[in-house]
């Protein structure tokens, strides 16, 4: 391969920034950038187990709802069997928002990627409602019901009633924060997440949610602070890691740190196409053209119809 001199690399890097539109200084809203890519006609599948987080026992008849992140009409509902297992085949490749709920347990949501021609294993653990909010159980159940039905305003009101009777439950504040965020009350949501952190400083999820809100507000310094803390608390959700890396890239001064985060992400999800693309671009900025080409080629293998695919092809051709 013909080696690039520093001027050539600088020229290529400037070209990429100008043509990518969202490489370093673009206004990236992380949660909206997790779902790039075009789906093909071939399908994938997802399966897993749902267990009680405390006892480890499997839970039967748990309701699981899957909604495609790009097309909300692609919605599926299923329940776990008597062994706590679930399976859904025939899924078009892409990201799906999973909502897992069962009466007597706190519902959880998670983004899961269905992969081309593969069966992805994704297990869930549910926290019992009684163990989390014993003094406010009745009103909390009503709040959870509204939360499950996506009635965010009603959920906020009911969680507020439960909090009035039990101000020491970090989970009540956390779920009210989620409902506030869904309802669009970002300042109120941030307040609830900060209260959650005050009550339980070692709970990773409110840090990542606060980071998400700060990123939406283009406050990348604060977003970095909260994402960093979430990762330090061993948050290994690939969405959190990807969003954290995007924030670091937006700051424009943290390429080494962003590389570490994206490399960790790929160790957890070796099929995350967008991570390969961003990592390849970062290695170009550092002059490591061999590693950049390897990563961009992998990106094209995984998602050849991605909107950034033409840029990746141009870069690879330039590096030959």
The model's pLDDT over 299-318, given as tens digits with 9 standing for 90+, comes to: 999 888 888 999 999 999 99
Tell me if 80 is assigned to some domain: yes
Residue range 97-102: average pLDDT?
90
Residue 320 in domain: no
Residue 91 lies in a domain: yes
**What range defines the domain where residue 45 resides?**
40-132
pLDDT tens, position by position, 26-65: 333 333 332 223 334 478 999 999 999 888 899 999 999 9
Answer yes or no: is 92 within a domain.
yes
* Residues in a beta bridge with 113: 95
210-257 residue pLDDT tens: 999 999 999 999 999 999 999 999 888 888 999 999 999 999 866 899
Any domain includes 174: no
Assess if residue 44 is contained within a domain.
yes
62 in any annotated domain? yes
Helices within the chain (DSSP H only): 6-20, 129-132, 137-148, 152-165, 170-183, 186-199, 205-216, 220-232, 238-251, 255-268, 273-285, 289-302, 309-319
Q: Residue 87 falls within a domain, yes or no?
A: yes
Into how many domains does the chain fold?
1
DSSP letters, 235-270, are ---HHHHHHHHHHHHHHTS-HHHHHHHHHHHHHH-T
Domain of 116, CATH number, reads 2.60.40.10
Among 49-53, 54-58, 104-108, 137-141, the minimum mean pLDDT is found in: 137-141
pTM strictly above 0.85: no
């Amino acid at each position: 391969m013909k080696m690039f001199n520093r001027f050539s690399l600088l020229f290529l890097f400037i070209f990429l920034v100008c043509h990518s539109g969202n490489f370093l200084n673009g206004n990236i809203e992380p949660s909206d950038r997790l779902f790039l890519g075009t789906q093909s006609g071939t399908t994938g599948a997802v399966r897993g187990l749902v267990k009680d987080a405390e006892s480890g026992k499997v839970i039967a008849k748990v309701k699981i709802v899957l909604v495609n992140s790009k097309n909300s009409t692609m919605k599926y509902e299923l329940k776990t069997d008597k062994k706590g297992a679930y399976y859904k085949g025939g899924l078009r490749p892409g990201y799906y928002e999973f909502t897992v709920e069962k009466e007597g347990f706190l519902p959880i949501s998670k983004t899961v990627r269905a992969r081309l021609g593969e069966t992805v294993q994704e297990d869930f653990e549910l926290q019992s409602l009684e163990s989390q909010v014993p003094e406010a159980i009745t009103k909390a159940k009503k709040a959870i019901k509204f939360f499950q039905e996506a009635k965010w305003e009603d959920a906020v009101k009911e969680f507020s009633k439960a909090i009035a009777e039990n101000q020491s439950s970090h989970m009540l504040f956390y779920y009210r924060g989620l409902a506030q965020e869904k309802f669009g009350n970002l300042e109120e949501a941030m307040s609830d997440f900060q209260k959650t952190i005050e009550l339980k400083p070692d709970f990773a999820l409110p840090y990542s949610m606060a980071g998400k809100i700060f990123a939406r507000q283009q406050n990348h310094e604060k977003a970095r602070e909260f994402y960093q803390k979430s990762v330090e608390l061993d948050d290994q959700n690939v969405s959190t890691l990807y969003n954290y890396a995007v924030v670091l890239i937006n700051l424009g001064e943290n390429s080494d740190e962003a590389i570490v985060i994206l490399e960790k992400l790929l160790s957890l999800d070796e099929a995350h196409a967008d991570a390969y693309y961003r990592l390849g671009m970062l290695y170009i900025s550092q002059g490591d053209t061999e590693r950049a080409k390897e990563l961009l080629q992998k990106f094209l293998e995984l998602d050849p119809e991605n909107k950034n695919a033409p840029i990746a092809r141009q870069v690879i051709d330039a590096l030959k």
